A and B are shown apart, each in its own frame.
Chain A
Amino acid sequence: MPVLFRVWLGAAIVAALAACASGPPPAGRRDLFEFVQPGIPRSEIVLRLGPPFASFESERIMAWSIGEDAGGYLVGATGYSPGAPRRFARYEFVVVFDAEGRVSKHSLVEVHKTE
């Protein structure tokens, strides 16, 4: 077997193993919430983050479950039924809207700190 071919084969195997060992690129973003500013309409929040997993007071207050990976924050898909067991992501992003449906306050709450 030619030396060049052996080198190529070795490199291909290493590359294939490396591809198997590494997962998909991180989907999280550190700037996920930067667009959330007072006055932003509720529709834009929902368009960007998806539907909230919980809402209160006729959707005046909404909450999203937020996970984290190497890239930053990402919106988690979680079911929520009051009183039923649930799985916690690390954070919950709570947004309060004013009477016109625009952001008035928001908070990123760490509800499940990883030990």
Chain B
Amino acid sequence: MKGLHPCRGVLLAAAVLILSGCPLPIPPLGYSSESRTNLTDRVPEFIVKGETTRERVLLGLGVPDSHSPDGRWFAYRSAQHTGGIVFVVAAGSGAAGAGVMGYRERLLVVRFDANAVVVDATLEERICPRGVAGFGNEGGESSPCLQIPDPASAGALVDSDAGLPAAVYEQAVWASGQIDPLSAAASESRRTGRILVTDLGVLAAADGDGRSGSAEPSRYWIPYRQIARAGLAQVPAGAVCAINLKDGQIYSAAILRRSLPLTWRLDGEATRGLVERISRALVDQAKLPDIPNADAR
């Protein structure tokens, strides 16, 4: 059941619940054909960090539900229907219903290093209630609780419960405005957090609740490949990654030449080393020669 606008679904559900009579229990339906069944409640024993290869993971679990274009991470997901309850109303020639379905969701994410060896594997399991509503031939169901990473997104949000990438090369503390040239002088309420340069990308995390009263993520994951996609081809070796912060949150990542003023805003050896590391990682990712920078600071 797809295609129902959320607002319409909520209104419909509310109306149906108010007007409805008896609830209709739905027995557990198990796995649908859109879910794999070969995930257990823990990371498979054959997956050993630093030993297991990508081909072994494929031979053991099959094709992942999602993966990065470069194969640096695989995501496997399953959803098992565990039962639910629906309130059904028949009116005239039509019928409407709304209720809640329970699903046991599992998400296994396996990350690989450049040699296709596992660096990290995490399995998350949740009991996820999903609201459902339908009227006639239209219907909708709320989204799964465990979302698989989208390989096409410009930057995937790291779930607050997920672990960090395995290899963290460097990290630095940031405060809002420290890096962003646009807000460097205008950060009245300074927030702090960490930037970690990992084997797979850059992770930024805000201290505290990290929400700033907005919908911005408190942790933001920017894989190198996605940064590279933004324009490394146009900006060859000597480029740096610029992470723009706003109100303590990363809102964009870009690649800029070192000659641009942006890098002059960097403050402190730690941050400078961080950007050097990002630059090297980006060059490694794109397999471009690391030409000495002619625009020395």
Contact = CB atoms under 8 A, between A and B. Distances in A.
A and B: bona fide binding partners: yes
Interface of A: 53-54, 56-57, 60-61, 63, 80, 82-83, 85-88, 92, 94, 96, 105-107, 109-113, 115
Interface string B44-65: 0000000000110011111111
Given A83-B152, A86-B65, A111-B37, A105 B30 contact: no
B34 A85 contact: yes
Given A56-B54, A56-B71, A83-B150, A109 B65 contact: no
Contacts of A63: 58, 62-63
B59 A82 contact: no
Interface in B187-215: none
B272 interface: no
A33 to B, nearest CB: 14
A89 to B, nearest CB: 9
Given A83-B152, A115-B31, A109 B60 contact: yes
B66 interface: yes
B23 interface: no
A109 B62 contact: yes
Contacts of A96: 55, 58-59
A83 B37 contact: no
Contacts, number: 75
22 contacts: A56-B54, A56-B58, A57-B55, A61-B55, A61-B58, A82-B151, A83-B66, A83-B148, A83-B151, A85-B34, A86-B34, A88-B33, A94-B62, A94-B63, A96-B55, A107-B59, A110-B38, A111-B37, A111-B63, A112-B38, A113-B38, A115-B30
A57 B68 CA distance: 12
Contacts of A105: 55, 59
B36 interface: yes
Contacts of A86: 34, 65
A60 B71 CA distance: 13
B31 A112 contact: yes
A25 B58 CA distance: 33
Nearest to A115: B30
Contacts of A83: 65-66, 148-152
Contacts of B116: 57
Nearest to A65: B63
B61 A109 contact: yes
A113 B36 CA distance: 8
B88 to A, nearest CB: 25
Nearest to A91: B62
A112 B31 CA distance: 8
A54 B71 CA distance: 12
A63 B35 CA distance: 18
Nearest to A105: B59
Interface string B143-166: 000001111100000000000000
Most buried by B among A56, A86, A88, A107: A88
Given A57-B54, A88-B33, A109-B38, 17 more contacts: A57-B55, A61-B55, A63-B63, A82-B64, A82-B151, A87-B33, A88-B34, A94-B58, A96-B58, A111-B36, A111-B37, A111-B38, A112-B33, A112-B36, A112-B37, A113-B37, A115-B30
Contacts of B38: 109-113
B280 interface: no
B225 interface: no
